[in-house]
């Protein structure tokens, strides 16, 4: 038997292509297969433990108290009546330490702290602690807070002329190339239009929740968070403790869509209250507080200018965006992020400027940038197709770039046109009629198309994989599963590379005591964490080969056995007391040497009622490429979810801010309208075969957010094709159509 040290690590920095993948030669034949999610039985049986469901002894319940002014200073907070109510333990305030804003995803600094000066309506200013949730909630209604009001900025239109350029970030806020104004003046065809999108909320099924417990000066927080590694650092700095004194557990997260990337106010409030009381405290946001005090997707105002020659080839692309955020916050919705590389065009101008408002913090929401930016870009492309008389798919084909038009680097892989062509064939694009001409009784029918793209990112990630004395594998990383299928995908990669049935792989996620993973966000989770698991398994394969006294290239692992030189040995006989390895991956020069992105095409058919203006999506098809598809079933589900998001973005979702104080007035799922079953038709998803050897050894790219990118634009373009009415101010509600509909 052989013994190996537990500290063995296989590290990779992505500085070169990886044309050979072990996934192509492994024998278990499980990667790519549409197997069921291994966490599914726990979730449907109610035995998967979410943040608010841990049963700790002596648990106290917290209810958050929010500010009821849009701007001002807290002068007094009278909690005596609340404290006197049955079951109430205390009312905890800490104006200096409570966090004013949630933190952005991936940041390692504490969020903005200090709540005495109110920055927006709904800011969390206190927490009531009681023996039951109901007692804490009732006591919160008895609080009396007096404010010294301050003048606030609550109107986007009133302050849009004061927009300012944000600080430089990973995505440049401004880019200029050539002379767009001159190219527009010389163009044979010109489009100059403005699209707007409203604030939106992620509206994840699980509210934000934190359960805090201190032991021997160390904090364990059971939280609903997507990125535990960086969230742990944010929390430690906000509390003023060492990072090694903080542990975050997020084994199951009931959706996030970006709203749970960074820590939110309930985490610090629960931690401070638990330390002060000397007992565990659980704080679960009410649905209205989720809307009030987490993050919203910024509203946008996007000016699109397209100039093309007589053949429809673009000479000018201008995409100038105004967004909003709180003073001092430099995050901006990168609406033009896909415009940088989606189409050819020599003269280019892409800008983002921030209007400072006293509204809830703007942050990342599913596919930040592309989800709303492609509404404008793909809408304008549809308008250009109409103006030139060129079929919308043919127009996109004529503007297919040979390489990144700004960075002048090649694409790692790019199958946009094949996606459009395959979708056109499957959807029946050739049967599309001119705008406003397909009337069937009281309904007008139309078909629309839009391109989809989402930049691919690799994030530093680590994972530990071990094989125990029974020949079974254990995967450990603090990577999370927010409903995306991470448990299953990491299990599949491990099973494939170690030659094990999936039942013999146990995956532990969401605990910062494990190696730091990439976290769930930006569509980077599967490829980043999957690569770290791949690297750990690669090292384990080397160790097994050494135990067999063969070269690793001559080793086959299948069904729990190691096979080489006409020998077949059970893994359990080779690993002794067990083997362990850690894999670590980091981004390298590949992300600069190549433009890496996933692509797709959305097709939608809608019916619009000529009397009421009601819009019904009748059918949708998404055709996507994202490198190797690791699990066909979970991948399809992700695309279906994104397309459903697109229906909401196109037709129903809109946060409404009160112009008097910035308050979100539709702050629950009864008034903020996400699509329900009746809104969603049969959706179809197809994948085109692709491998991206430049991305990582898995040859896989990000997929989770690709499904929403362009989906709303396809619906908007279909509405135009049905009615001849171009709506540029989203969502497309019936009032925006009625005046342009034909008389009965």
Residues classed as catalytic: 705
Helix, strand, or coil (residue 157) = helix
**φ/ψ of residue 175, rounded to 5:** -145, 135
Pairwise CA distance, residues 720 & 447, whole Å = 9
Going by DSSP bridges, is the β-strand pair 9-14/72-78 parallel, antiparallel, or unpaired?
unpaired
Whether 481 contacts 253, CB under 8 Å: yes
Pairwise CA distance, residues 409 & 464, whole Å = 35
Is the omega angle on the peptide bond into residue 731 within 30 degrees of 0, that is, cis? yes
* CB-based burial label for 739 (10 Å; 0-12, 13-18, 19+): exposed
**DSSP letter string, 556-578:** EEETTEEEETTEEEEHHHHSTT-
Pairwise CA distance, residues 486 & 507, whole Å = 9
Sequence-separated (6 or more) residues with CB below 8 Å from residue 732: 615, 650, 651, 715, 716, 719
Sequence-separated (6 or more) residues with CB below 8 Å from residue 198: 299, 653, 654, 655, 656, 730, 731
Element (H, E) at 526: helix 525-548
* CB-based burial label for 242 (10 Å; 0-12, 13-18, 19+): exposed
Pairwise CA distance, residues 400 & 418, whole Å = 11
List the structure tokens of 448: 């629309």
What beta strand segments (E) does 267-401 contain? 281-284, 296-297, 300-308, 314-325, 347-356
Pairwise CA distance, residues 97 & 443, whole Å = 57
Q: Which of 96, 63, 127 is nearest to 269 (CA)?
A: 127
Whether 228 contacts 427, CB under 8 Å: no
Pairwise CA distance, residues 658 & 152, whole Å = 12
Sequence-separated (6 or more) residues with CB below 8 Å from residue 253: 50, 51, 206, 224, 225, 226, 260, 480, 481, 482, 483, 510, 520
**φ/ψ of residue 251, rounded to 5:** -65, -35
Pairwise CA distance, residues 641 & 701, whole Å = 18
């Amino acid at each position: 038997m052989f013994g190996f040290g537990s500290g063995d690590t296989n590290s990779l920095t992505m500085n070169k292509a990886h044309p050979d993948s072990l996934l192509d030669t492994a024998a278990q034949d499980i990667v790519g297969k549409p197997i069921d999610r291994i966490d599914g039985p726990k979730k449907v049986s109610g035995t998967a433990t979410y943040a608010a469901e841990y049963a700790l002894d002596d648990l106290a319940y917290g209810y958050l108290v929010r500010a009821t002014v849009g701007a001002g200073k807290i002068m007094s907070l009278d909690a005596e009546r609340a404290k006197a109510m049955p079951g109430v333990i205390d009312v905890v305030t800490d104006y200096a330490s409570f966090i004013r804003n949630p933190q952005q995803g991936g940041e390692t600094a504490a969020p903005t702290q200090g709540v005495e000066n109110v920055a927006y309506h709904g800011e969390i200013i206190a927490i009531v602690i009681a023996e039951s949730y109901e007692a804490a909630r009732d006591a919160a209604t008895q609080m009396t807070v007096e404010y010294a009001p301050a003048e606030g900025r609550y109107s986007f239109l009133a302050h849009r002329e004061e927009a300012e350029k944000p600080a430089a970030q990973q995505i440049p806020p401004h880019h200029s190339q050539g002379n767009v104004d001159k190219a527009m003046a010389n163009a044979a065809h010109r489009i100059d239009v403005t699209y707007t999108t409203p604030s939106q909320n992620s509206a994840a099924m699980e509210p934000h929740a934190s359960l805090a417990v201190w032991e021997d000066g160390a904090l364990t927080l059971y939280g609903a968070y997507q990125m535990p590694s960086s969230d742990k650092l944010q929390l430690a700095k906000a509390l003023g403790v060492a990072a090694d004194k903080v542990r975050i557990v997020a084994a199951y997260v009931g959706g996030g869509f970006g709203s749970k990337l960074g820590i939110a106010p309930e985490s610090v409030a629960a931690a401070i209250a638990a330390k002060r009381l000397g007992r565990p405290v659980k704080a679960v946001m009410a649905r209205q507080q989720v809307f009030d005090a987490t993050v919203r997707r910024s509203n946008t105002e996007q000016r699109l200018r397209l100039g093309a020659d007589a053949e429809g080839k673009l000479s000018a692309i201008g995409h100038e965006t105004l967004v909003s955020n709180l003073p001092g916050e430099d995050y901006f919705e990168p609406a033009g992020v896909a415009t940088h590389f989606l189409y050819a065009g020599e003269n280019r101008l892409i800008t983002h400027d921030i209007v400072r408002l006293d509204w809830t913090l703007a942050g990342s929401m599913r596919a930040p940038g592309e989800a709303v930016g492609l509404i404008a870009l793909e809408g304008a492309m549809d308008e250009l197709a109409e103006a030139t008389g060129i079929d919308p798919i043919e127009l996109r084909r004529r503007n297919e770039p040979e390489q990144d038009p700004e960075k002048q680097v090649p694409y790692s892989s790019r199958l946009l046109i094949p996606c459009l062509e395959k979708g056109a064939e499957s959807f029946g694009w050739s049967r599309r009629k001119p705008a406003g001409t397909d009337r069937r009784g009281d309904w007008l029918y139309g078909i629309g198309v839009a391109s989809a793209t989402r930049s691919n990112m690799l994030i530093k990630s680590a994972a530990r994989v071990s094989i125990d004395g029974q020949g079974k594998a254990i995967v450990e990383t603090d990577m999370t599963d927010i409903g995306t299928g991470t448990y299953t995908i990491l299990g599949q990669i491990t099973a494939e590379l170690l030659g094990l049935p999936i039942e013999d792989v146990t995956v532990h996620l969401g605990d910062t005591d494990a190696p730091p993973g990439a976290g769930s966000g930006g569509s980077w989770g599967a490829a980043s964490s999957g690569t770290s698991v791949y690297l750990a398994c690669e090292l384990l394969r080397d160790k097994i080969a050494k135990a067999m006294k063969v070269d690793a290239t001559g080793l086959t692992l299948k069904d729990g056995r190691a096979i080489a030189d006409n020998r077949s040995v059970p893994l359990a006989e080779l690993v002794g007391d067990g083997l362990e390895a850690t894999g670590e991956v980091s981004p390298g020069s590949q992300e600069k040497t190549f433009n890496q992105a996933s692509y797709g095409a959305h097709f939608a058919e809608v019916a619009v009622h000529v009397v009421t203006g009601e819009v019904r999506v009748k059918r949708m098809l998404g055709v996507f490429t994202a490198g190797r598809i690791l699990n066909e079933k979970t991948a399809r589900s992700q695309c279906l979810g994104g397309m459903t998001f697109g229906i909401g973005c196109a037709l129903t979702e809109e946060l409404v801010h009160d112009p008097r104080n910035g308050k979100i007035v539709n702050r629950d799922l009864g008034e903020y309208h996400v699509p329900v079953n009746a809104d969603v038709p049969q959706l179809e998803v197809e994948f085109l075969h692709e491998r991206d050897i430049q991305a990582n050894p898995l040859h896989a790219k990000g997929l989770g957010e690709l499904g929403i990118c362009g989906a709303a634009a396809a619906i908007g373009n279909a509405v135009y094709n049905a009615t001849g009415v171009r709506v540029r101010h989203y969502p497309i509600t019936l009032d925006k159509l009625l005046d342009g509909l034909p008389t009965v």
